[in-house]
Amino acid sequence: MQDMKEASQKSSEEPKARVPKRQRGHDRVAVLLEAAAKVFCERGYDAATMTEIAAEARSSIGSLYQFFPTKPLLAEDLHIDRLERLKAVLRDIGEKADGLSAADIGEEIFDRLAAFIEEFPEFPVLAGRRDVPRDRKARSRAELKEHLASLLRRAQPPVIDDVGLLSAIILELLRIAVTTASDPDAVEDQRLVRELRLMLRKRLEEASAKG
Amino acid sequence: MQDMKEASQKSSEEPKARVPKRQRGHDRVAVLLEAAAKVFCERGYDAATMTEIAAEARSSIGSLYQFFPTKPLLAEDLHIDRLERLKAVLRDIGEKADGLSAADIGEEIFDRLAAFIEEFPEFPVLAGRRDVPRDRKARSRAELKEHLASLLRRAQPPVIDDVGLLSAIILELLRIAVTTASDPDAVEDQRLVRELRLMLRKRLEEASAKG
Amino acid sequence: MQDMKEASQKSSEEPKARVPKRQRGHDRVAVLLEAAAKVFCERGYDAATMTEIAAEARSSIGSLYQFFPTKPLLAEDLHIDRLERLKAVLRDIGEKADGLSAADIGEEIFDRLAAFIEEFPEFPVLAGRRDVPRDRKARSRAELKEHLASLLRRAQPPVIDDVGLLSAIILELLRIAVTTASDPDAVEDQRLVRELRLMLRKRLEEASAKG
Amino acid sequence: MQDMKEASQKSSEEPKARVPKRQRGHDRVAVLLEAAAKVFCERGYDAATMTEIAAEARSSIGSLYQFFPTKPLLAEDLHIDRLERLKAVLRDIGEKADGLSAADIGEEIFDRLAAFIEEFPEFPVLAGRRDVPRDRKARSRAELKEHLASLLRRAQPPVIDDVGLLSAIILELLRIAVTTASDPDAVEDQRLVRELRLMLRKRLEEASAKG
DNA sequence: CATGAATGAGTATTCATTCAT
DNA sequence: CATGAATGAATACTCATTCAT
């Protein structure tokens, strides 16, 4: 039966994504995630349907649910995947950050994140989902900000301003770049993004100790 | 949307049956309830489908859900309706109970309740639903038992035994009658029911003060 | 089970190596059946899922289907297993029935069957399954009744009443005991069951030839 | 989703929101629009339901449809209403823009638009609706940008940079302010917004001819 | 016009069963 | 045989929209 809501005695309340144990399963999960990414990106979270995602993955609806037992969990898993990749990018930036000026670091971040979002345009959709608990959203954002802050702290000459605030600025300017990137106003937008980058550079230069 | 589970900000958590405000609605509700009664009875609660109920009522699935927003609530509303009718039967018995012997009262109860369940064979299905919280089931049963007890208390000569226990016995013997009634073992069963009635009578005679 | 067939094999050519295999299959079947028993009992037949049963048996869904090709057949096989055990109980009663009074036999039956159902609480679930053909249910019940009847026939002094009817009474009173036993209304219920036992005893005494 | 109609290119017969002729109708329309604003804002466009909007307006679903024949049209009408108000704000700014520096005009715009969106928080929801044809969105945005540009053109000393680009910058910085305003990260956010304002001021000062 | 009932296509999700490895 | 992935029909429920009163 399908309605065990009232007085359900089921012990495990929330189903968790079944972990694939075979190669076949792993592959399928990967394909499903990419299909989800595409559909979420094209339609938005609400309008995306599990059926379309399954179809996009050339899979059956049953297979989709085998690994992702609810739509929110699918989105969540995809989001987590993207966050992992994002962290990898930041780690990568970190490896060459030492000795760079804050402005250079900032620009590097800006560019890499912009590229990241161009590669994974579903990211903002996932991050902006309305049915994600506020606190989780905030936590995720705070983590990212702290990541950026730790990068800025390694600038030479050192940043004397509040790196937290600066990180927030980076993030927000980036958000613009992201949003505009999705519009096809090509020429205008590119100029706009360049402007924002420049504003960021100036701000970071101001924030650095005079060499 | 259809999946507002996670972090739903909806203020009213559980939807309540919309109360019909037009004659048309009232009629529809009545038809839907009878259809539900029929399908629940035929298939059992779990196997009954909302679609079949709607079809049985020559209604659309949407109409069904307009008035009964979930399957459990539909069953619940139907159950409540039947309980009302049952109480009416008991009230009716109460009106002629005074001065009767416990045994006569008991038999009257037995017969009337048997007739009730023959008229509303879905009653046991509704009462036995597995997804009803234990306590609600218990409460409902306790209420009914108290009703019976109050009837027995009015017997003349008075009952000197525990009327609560006796009421429980009536109820249980009745449950047998009910269950067997649904089997088509006609002849055998009728004798069985008659036997049970007789056993009940004897027990009640023993429980009464000697005249 | 189907592996009863394979029991008849050419004893000489079959190496012992296959025995443990068969033994393993046997164990697996037993574990699966017990898992099914547990899940059917907890959730009811409809709400029980093959997947949960397999999980409960720490087996895979594929394995489950290897031995029980459909859910109804699984239930059926389990039911048959329980019926075998029930018959064993009745045989056991039969061994000491001679010379006892009908009332004593009846009480013994009552107590032993009650114990049986306490041990195998899934029994009523299996017996009550809605998708079992009426006639098979009836046949099963008739068989059980005949078993009881044959026990009663051996009472001393002899029963002069219709033993079929009396068996039906025992069965029904028992059904009550069973049902109530599953409710946690402890005290009340125990008194109720004791009462039913007593009523049964009286009825059986009446049914016996005066000694 | 259930309302992806608008995107389809029905060329000839687009239903238009009925123009109410009586005062009562006018009031009703206003109430409905405000209800829609509230619900769209709380739930987002997709998750908002026509039923809830009607309920919020203490009206009936039929009434709602009398004035707004589809959900997209309702959103559209509301959006148009908000755009009117926004234009009024810009006109108002225009009345005292003469003689002000670009930086002062920019800040005025920034502050007034921020206040506007605080007053009408549904605005971003309406503007961001995914089922609005790209071109219409772009047009709307271009119009707004041109409005801002015309304001900047009246700055004294004159702006020597590309006012279109500057307007875009204002708009984007504003978008940040808006988005962050809806988060409850109070302190951090206020500092962030102040920073953005400052960055805007500096950029506009640079863009102005030296006095 | 106002009201609320009627409609049904669409959506998420489940689960018995089959199949490839 | 064991395993777990694949499948898709079935099911509860939603909601934009239409219609009768």
Chain B hits for D43, CB-CB cut-off 8 Å, are 9
Give the DSSP letter of residue A15.
Answer: -
| C163 in Cβ contact with B188 (< 8 Å) | no
pLDDT-based confidence at residue B185 (cuts at 50, 70, 90): low
Question: Minimum mean pLDDT among A26-35, B122-131, D135-144: which range?
Answer: D135-144
D47 touches chain B (CB under 8 A): yes
Instruction: Answer yes or no: are the C-beta atoms of D108 and D100 closer than 8 Å.
Output: yes
pLDDT, average across residues C183-200: 77
State mean pLDDT over C2-26: 44
Q: Are C28 and C54 in contact (CB under 8 A)?
A: no
| C127 shares its domain with C46 | no
Is the domain of D60 the same as that of D92? no
Question: Taking CB atoms and an 8 Å limit, are D188 and A46 in contact across chains?
Answer: no
pLDDT confidence of A29, banded at 50, 70, 90?
very high
**Residue A25 confidence class, pLDDT cut points 50, 70, 90:** confident
Q: Cα angle at C128 between C125 and C134, to 5 degrees?
A: 155
**Using CB atoms, which residue from B130, B175, B192 is nearest to C44?**
B130
Chain E nucleotides reached by a protein CB under 7 Å: 1-21
Final residue before a domain boundary, out of A8, A38, A69: A69
Task: Report the SS3 class of residue D182.
Answer: helix
Residue B3 lies in a domain: no
Residue C184 has pLDDT above 70, yes or no: no
B25 CA: nearest nucleotide by C1': E5
**CB within 8 Å: B1 and D47:** yes
Please state the rounded mean pLDDT for residues B155-164.
92
Q: What is the pLDDT of residues A155-167, one digit of tens each?
A: 989 999 999 999 9
* Tally of helices (H runs) and strands (E runs) in chain D: 9, 0
Residues C126 and C182 in one domain: yes
- Of B86-100, B184-198, D165-179, which gets the smallest average pLDDT? B184-198
- D42 CB neighbours in chain B (<8 A) are 9
Q: Report the C-alpha gap between A5 and D105 in whole angstroms.
A: 58
Residue range(s) defining the domain that contains residue C20 = 16-69
Please answer whether residues D53 and D71 qualify as being in contact, where contact means their C-beta atoms are separated by less than 8 angstroms.
no
User: Is there a domain that residue D33 lies in?
Assistant: yes
Quick one: tokens of C195? 């009462």
pLDDT at B103 over 80: yes
- Six token digits for residue D78: 């509301």
Select from A139, A176, A202, A205 the residue whose CB has the most chain D CBs within 10 Å, as the one to mutate to test that interface.
A176
Per-residue pLDDT, A211: 55
Q: Does A133 touch chain B (CB under 8 A)?
A: yes
Question: Is the domain of D178 the same as that of D125?
Answer: yes
Q: Gap from A15 CA to F13 C1', in Å? A: 20
- Would A123 be classed as within a structural domain? yes
Residue B184 has pLDDT above 60, yes or no: no
Chain B interface disruption, residue of D3, D43, D45, most B CBs within 10 A: D43
pLDDT in tens, C79-104: 999 999 999 999 999 998 888 999 99
Three-state SS across D94-148?
A: HHCCCCCCHHHHHHHHHHHHHHHHHHCCHHHHHHHCCCCCHHHHHHHHHHHHHHH
- Of C32, C49, C69, the residue at which a domain comes to its end is C69
Q: How far is D47 from chain B (nearest CA, A)?
A: 5
| C-alpha distances out from residue C28 to B50, C32, C68, C80, Å | 38, 6, 11, 17
Q: Is pLDDT above 50 for A7? A: no
> Residue C177: which of C102, C118, C122 has the closest Cα?
C118
Question: Comparing B17-21, B133-137, C18-22, D34-38, which segment has the lowest mean pLDDT?
Answer: C18-22
Highest-pLDDT range among A115-129, B109-123, C37-51: C37-51
Q: Which residue has the tokens 């125990």?
A: C190
C124 and C188 in a single domain? The answer is: yes
| Contact between the CB of A69 and strand F at under 7 Å | no
The answer on pLDDT for B12 being more than 60 is: no
| D42 contact B CB<8A | yes
Core vs surface per residue D91-107: b (16+ CB within 10 A) or e: eebeeebeebbbbbbbb
Position C153 in a domain: yes
Same-domain status, C116 and C184: yes
CB count in 10 Å sphere of residue A140: 15
Decide if D11 is inside a domain.
no
Task: Tell me: cis bond preceding C158? Omega within 30 of 0 counts.
Answer: no
Query: Among the three residues A32, A50, A69, which one is the final residue of a domain in this structure?
Result: A69
Asked if B128 has any chain A CB less than 8 Å from its own CB, the reply is no
Verify cis geometry, omega within 30 degrees of 0, for the bond prior to C20.
no
Q: Could you tell me which residues come within 8 angstroms of residue D33 by beta carbon, excluding any fewer than 6 positions away?
A: D77, D78, D81
Contacts of C168 in chain B (CB under 8 A): 188, 192
Query: Per-residue pLDDT for C5 more than 50?
Result: no
For the stretch A197-200, contacts whose Cβ atoms lie closer than 8 Å and that sit 24 or more positions apart, written own/partner, are A197/A107, A197/A110, A197/A111, A197/A173, A199/A173, A199/D169, A199/D199, A199/D203, A200/A103, A200/A106, A200/A107, A200/A110, A200/A169, A200/A170, A200/A173
Q: What is the CA radius of gyration of chain B?
A: 20
What's the CA gap between B161 and A105, in Å, rounded?
Answer: 91
- Taking phi over 0 as left and psi of -120 to 50 as alpha, with beta for the rest, D161 belongs to beta
Measured CA to CA in angstroms, residue D205 lies from A173, B201, C116, D30 at distances of 20, 103, 92, 42
A103 and A27 within one domain: no
Is residue D141 within 8 A of residue D128, CB to CB? The reply is no
- Rg, Å, chain C Cα set: 20
Chain B residue numbers with beta carbons less than 8 Å from the beta carbon of D47 are 1, 4
Statement to judge: residues C209 and C144 lie in one domain: yes
D133 and D37 in one domain? Answer: no
Domain for residue A7, yes or no? Answer: no
Domain count, chain A: 2
Query: What is the per-residue pLDDT across B17-75, written as a single tens digit (0 to 9) for each?
Result: 678 888 888 999 999 999 999 999 999 999 999 999 999 999 999 999 999 999 999 99
Cβ-based contacts under 8 A for chains A and D: 66
Asked if residue B132 and residue B32 are part of one domain, the reply reads no
In angstroms, the CA B173 to CA C10 distance is 57
List the Cα angle A161/A163/A168 in 5-degree steps: 120
Structural domain contains residue B129: yes
Find out whether D195 and D177 touch, Cβ atoms under 8 Å. Answer: no
| CATH code, domain with B40 | 1.10.10.60
Contacts of B74 (CB under 8 A, 6+ apart): B32, B36, B50, B53, B64, B68
Please indicate, yes or no, if residue B139 is contained in any of the structural domains: yes
Q: How far is D47 from chain A (nearest CA, A)?
A: 7
Q: Considering only the beta carbons, identify the residue of D134, D175, D184 that sits closest to A176.
A: D175
Identify whether the C-beta of residue D209 lies closer than 8 Å to the C-beta of residue D157. Answer: yes
Query: Are B163 and B65 in contact, with CB atoms under 8 Å apart?
Result: no
For the cut 80, the answer to whether the pLDDT of residue B6 exceeds it is no
Q: Which pLDDT does position D46 carry in this prediction? A: 96
Chain Cα centroid distance, residue C96: 20
Residue A104 CA to its chain's centroid (Å): 23
The whole-angstrom separation of Cα C169 and Cα B194 is 11
Amino acid at C171: L
Asked if the model's pLDDT at residue D154 lies above 70, the reply is yes
Q: Is A186 on the interface with C (CB under 8 A)?
A: no
Indicate if the pLDDT at residue D99 is higher than 70. yes
Whether any strand F atom is under 7 angstroms from the Cβ of B48: the reply reads yes
Chain C residues inside the 8 Å CB shell of A2:
none
Predicted pLDDT at A99: 86
C vs D contact (3+ beta-carbon pairs below 8 A): no
pLDDT class of A77 with cuts at 50, 70, 90: very high
- Ranked by mean pLDDT, the top range of B11-20, C107-116, D17-26 is C107-116
Question: What's the sign of the alpha-carbon dihedral B140, B142, B143, B148?
Answer: positive
Same domain? For D119 and D205 the reply is yes
Residue of D nearest to A49 (CA): D1
pLDDT attached to residue A185: 57
Structure tokens at B3: 């999946």
Q: Look over chain B and give the mean of its residue pLDDT values, rounded to a whole number.
A: 86
Distance from C-alpha of A112 to C-alpha of A116, rounded to nearest angstrom? 6
Beta bridge partners, B208, equal B159
The residue type at B121: P
Q: Are residues C164 and C63 in the same domain?
A: no
Name which of A172, A175, A206 to mutate to probe chain D: the one with the most chain D Cβ atoms within 10 A of its Cβ. Answer: A172
Which tokens sit at A144? Answer: 């990212």
In this predicted structure, what is the pLDDT of residue D180? Answer: 63
Interface touch A5/B47, C-beta < 8 Å: no
